[in-house]
Structure 1
Amino acid sequence: MFTQILETIQNYDTIIIHRHQRPDPDALGSQVGLALLLKEHFPQKTIKVTGCDDPNLTWLAQMNAVSDQEYEGALVIVTDTANSPRIDDERYQKGAYLIKIDHHPADDQYGDLNYVDTTASSTSEIITDFALATGLSLTNEAARLLYAGIVGDTGRFLYPATTSKTLELAAILRNYDFDASLLARMMDTFSLDIAKLQSYVFEHLTIDENGVAYVTLTQELLNKMGLSDLDTGAIVSSPGKIDTVETWAIFVEQPEGYYRVRLRSKSVPINEVAKRHGGGGHLLASGAVSASIEENEAIYQELQKLFEEK
């Protein structure tokens, strides 16, 4: 498959790389890391990355301006995105050929060529593996981005998806010339306003006798704190630091009135709950969409049932 992907890349003069909405380090790391890898080996090609910039992650990577005309006859690659509705920039459909590279469960087989490895910790791990397997040397900046993606999606090598292969590839990337200590500090740093939001989460978290927890972040609260939905990504893992919490849901009210739901678990898979509510994702880390407070309550009850049956 890696050979087939490389041969496809060689056949196109313009390559536009997408990733999922509301990017995390793995989305940006795999997207921009791949772009830099290809630019190094195919300098004659036009290679761009597209999507909305996350103001909290512009220190890691930023997007290019891409015109509609550039999609004509172009190869489009989408990284780290399980289902097509989550792809950032709907123009991904305008290219001549589409490759999907991902590590999430393959619930949506969009694209002309799909490479999905659910055993990989991250899509950045897959891109690193692709580079090594095809003999494409990495630049220092590509290595920095891919390393950031692996560190981000493994929770600093804490999560179960971290394998010996993950560590081997991360060690190879670590040998490149970039400031890994600075990168770690940047990934672990947030503003005072987000620190206050984290405090709010701890103070208002509801936890039942089985360790099933939830908290709701309203638009009124976020506006009062001068924060947005993008900022809430920094506190998603916070409830898991509590020893009595086994699984948790964070309901983030959107300006349109619906809720973005972030689901996490330490042991019992919760992705089926997410699928029943317009989402999906990993076994222990998923997202969903809720139309109302009543649906929020239904989601919480479904999580409780999982742990009652445990």
Structure 2
Amino acid sequence: MREEILKKIQQYDRIIIHRHVRPDPDALGSQGGLASIIQASFPEKEVFVVGEEDAGLLFLNKMNEIEDEMYNGSLVIICDTANSPRISDPRYRLGDFVIKIDHHPNEDPYGDLVWVDTTASSTSEMIMDLYLSGADSGLKLNDRGARLLYAGIIGDTGRFLFSNTSMKTHRYTALLLETGFSPSEVHENLYKISEKLVRLNGYVLQHFSIVDDCVGYIHLTSDTLKEFNTSASEASLLVNSFSHVEGLLAWVFFVDEPDQIRVRLRSKGPVVNKVAVKFNGGGHPRASGATVYTEEETQSVLAELRKLCKEYKAK
């Protein structure tokens, strides 16, 4: 599969790389890291990265603005996106050939060529796999690309604390560090937190609830976000605030947005993407996202999560 992808990259003069909406470090890291590898290896090619931007992650990579016509005859690669509705910028359909590269369960095998590896810690780790498979044939990885892939890996492994961290993850990280970028700069920018978010975190710790002795939840309303002068994206960063509470198996963050309610699901065992797919979402077995639109739907999500944890405890 990697060889087929590399052949397609060599075949096309223009390559446009997408990733999922509401980008996280792995989405931006894999997207930008792949773009950097292609640009360094084939300087004659046109390479673009597209999608909406997150102000808190602009230090990683900025997007390109391109016209629809640029998709004519172009190769499109979509990174770190399980479901086609979550692809940022629907113009990916205008491309000549579409490749999916992802590490989430392949519930929506869109595209003309699909490479999914659910054993990988991150899609950034997969891009490192792709680079290594072509390094002997001339693929190049510079410090900029390595920095982006490193950010993606530490983002999706929780700084190597999550169970998806493997020996391969550490080996690849060591290879990335050899390029000479500053890992401390990446960490400082990824994990810095504003005073207003610290104060909102205090609110979360005071107001979250636990039901069935194992399911945690909180709903951050638009009024609460306004009170603390925070955006939905910023508030969502606090999803693991109370994750270390003893006995907790799974938890959910509901965060109001102007036209919907963002749902962030996390777990220490139960497979929460089973819940996410029922509510316009998806993701990893232990870290998923979804979207609902009413308070009644948030209660339905919570009921499904409680049922899931009850079944998990009964095993």
Per the normalisation by structure 1, the TM-score is: 0.97
Give yes or no for the alignment of 1:167 onto 2:167.
no
**Counterpart-to-counterpart distance in 2, 1:171 and 1:237:** 27
Say which SS state the counterpart of residue 243 (structure 2) adopts. helix
**AA partner of residue 91 (structure 1):** R
Aligned residue for 1:52?
52
In structure 2, which of residues 232, 236, 239 is the aligned counterpart of residue 229 of structure 1? 232
In structure 2, which of residues 141, 144, 148 is the aligned counterpart of residue 145 of structure 1? 148
Say which SS state the counterpart of residue 56 (structure 1) adopts. helix
Cα offsets for 1:100-120 (capped at 9, x unmatched) = 100000011111101000000
Which stretches of structure 1, 4 residues or more, deviate above 3 A after TM superposition?
none
Cα offsets for 1:152-201 (capped at 9, x unmatched) = 00001111111111111111112221111121122111111111221121
Aligned residue for 2:278?
276
**AA partner of residue 261 (structure 2):** Y
Say which SS state the counterpart of residue 253 (structure 2) adopts. strand
**Counterpart-to-counterpart distance in 2, 1:144 and 1:243:** 35
**AA partner of residue 116 (structure 2):** V
Say which SS state the counterpart of residue 299 (structure 1) adopts. helix
**Counterpart-to-counterpart distance in 2, 1:49 and 1:24:** 15
**Counterpart-to-counterpart distance in 1, 2:6 and 2:269:** 37
Aligned residue for 1:259?
261
**Counterpart-to-counterpart distance in 2, 1:82 and 1:54:** 20
After superposing the two structures, state which structure 1 stretch, 167-176 or 225-234, moved more.
Answer: 225-234
Give yes or no for the alignment of 1:110 onto 2:113.
no
Say which SS state the counterpart of residue 287 (structure 1) adopts. strand
**Counterpart-to-counterpart distance in 2, 1:302 and 1:110:** 27
Q: Is the 8 A contact 2:18 2:79 kept in 1?
A: yes
Corresponding residue pairs, total:
309
Q: Structure 2 stretches of 5 or more lacking a match?
A: none
Say which SS state the counterpart of residue 241 (structure 1) adopts. coil
Q: Is the 8 A contact 1:53 1:62 kept in 2?
A: yes
Which residues of 2 match residues 1-310 of structure 1 at below 5 A? 1-135=1-135, 136-256=139-259, 258-309=260-311, 310=313
Say which SS state the counterpart of residue 16 (structure 1) adopts. strand
**Counterpart-to-counterpart distance in 1, 2:281 and 2:53:** 23
**Counterpart-to-counterpart distance in 1, 2:162 and 2:144:** 25
TM-superposed deviation, 1:86: 0.5
**Counterpart-to-counterpart distance in 1, 2:180 and 2:272:** 39
Q: Structure 1 stretches of 5 or more lacking a match?
A: none
**AA partner of residue 228 (structure 2):** M
Cα offsets for 1:80-136 (capped at 9, x unmatched) = 000111111111111111011000000111111010000000000000011011112
Say which SS state the counterpart of residue 64 (structure 1) adopts. coil
**AA partner of residue 32 (structure 2):** V
Q: Is the 8 A contact 2:249 2:269 kept in 1?
A: yes
TM-superposed deviation, 1:283: 0.6
**Counterpart-to-counterpart distance in 2, 1:208 and 1:276:** 21
**Counterpart-to-counterpart distance in 1, 2:310 and 2:47:** 50
**AA partner of residue 236 (structure 1):** V
- Identity of counterpart residues, as a percentage? 48
Say which SS state the counterpart of residue 276 (structure 1) adopts. helix
**AA partner of residue 3 (structure 2):** T
**AA partner of residue 110 (structure 2):** Y
After superposing the two structures, state which structure 1 stretch, 50-59 or 293-302, moved more.
Answer: 293-302
Q: Is the 8 A contact 1:21 1:87 kept in 2?
A: yes
**Counterpart-to-counterpart distance in 2, 1:294 and 1:233:** 20
TM-superposed deviation, 1:241: 3.1
Q: Is the 8 A contact 1:198 1:235 kept in 2?
A: yes
Per the normalisation by structure 2, the TM-score is: 0.95
Cα offsets for 1:225-260 (capped at 9, x unmatched) = 22222212321222213334221000112212x311
**Counterpart-to-counterpart distance in 1, 2:304 and 2:21:** 26
Q: Is the 8 A contact 1:194 1:234 kept in 2?
A: no
**AA partner of residue 3 (structure 1):** E
**Counterpart-to-counterpart distance in 2, 1:94 and 1:18:** 12
